[in-house]
Amino acid sequence: MTGKIHSFESFGTVDGPGVRFVVFFQGCPMRCSYCHNPDSWDISLGETYTAEQVLERMTRNLPFYKTGGITATGGEPLLQIDFLTELFTLAKGKGIHTCLDTSGALFHKENTEKIDKLLSVCDLVMLDIKHIDSDEHKNLTQRGNENILEFAKYLSSKGVPTRIRHVLIPKINDSDEHLLRLREFISTLKSIEKVEVLPLHHLGESKYERLGIAYPMKDYPVPSAEQLARATKILNKKE
């Protein structure tokens, strides 16, 4: 089995616990306005690898990852779920911690066979919840959030260790109303390890220029340290 890979990061420190080998999968069904990898959207692009070839790139430096593991991100890894499951199965066979960073947008509760197989070899899920309001989520990503919230509930029902990630975008998802609604939803979930608030950044703007795509976030500011701290406090507050 082969998969399409966008790129690799050899010593990632922000994509799960410890030092990690990060695999950026090619292809994504969402069109997030703040995406910093628009060149990862088209699954026909990217390089073709077998799962063995991907893991071999990691195991060359395996001692460096003894406190971490492998993280699949993207793009959207669930778009290539069979390949992802094979990769994680090989990694678990070598005692490597596995982490999935996903939007959850491709989850369908009516058919969970493949998801269950993947979760059996996945140690941690980092789930990106981009907006708690489905209409606003659609404005931001061109898709509603119903499947994403259902996936969060499903992970909770299965007791899968989960981290929630929320990219803070001033004027879009940083109001008290939205943050409190998101916190209320998160409070209903079990096995949440932590909630991470990440800042909007503009590091991908040059890629949009090269691809001839208008950059949607040009007029949106990067959140201040105070705004990040406030959102983090609200989303992590226990009641």
> How is residue 99 annotated by DSSP?
E
H-only helix segments in the chain: 51-59, 81-93, 113-119, 134-141, 146-158, 176-186, 205-211, 225-236
- Structural contact between residues 9 and 22, judged by C-beta atoms closer than 8 angstroms: yes
pLDDT digit string, tens, across residues 149-207: 999 999 999 999 999 999 999 999 999 999 999 999 999 999 999 999 999 999 889 99
- Structural contact between residues 132 and 178, judged by C-beta atoms closer than 8 angstroms: yes
Q: Phi, psi at residue 6, to the nearest 5°? A: -80, -50
Other CB atoms within a 10 A radius of the CB of residue 79 amount to 21
Does the pTM surpass 0.75? The reply is yes
Per-residue tokens: 118 = 């993947």
Work out the pLDDT band at 238, boundaries 50, 70, 90: low
pLDDT digit string, tens, across residues 86-112: 999 999 999 999 999 999 999 999 999
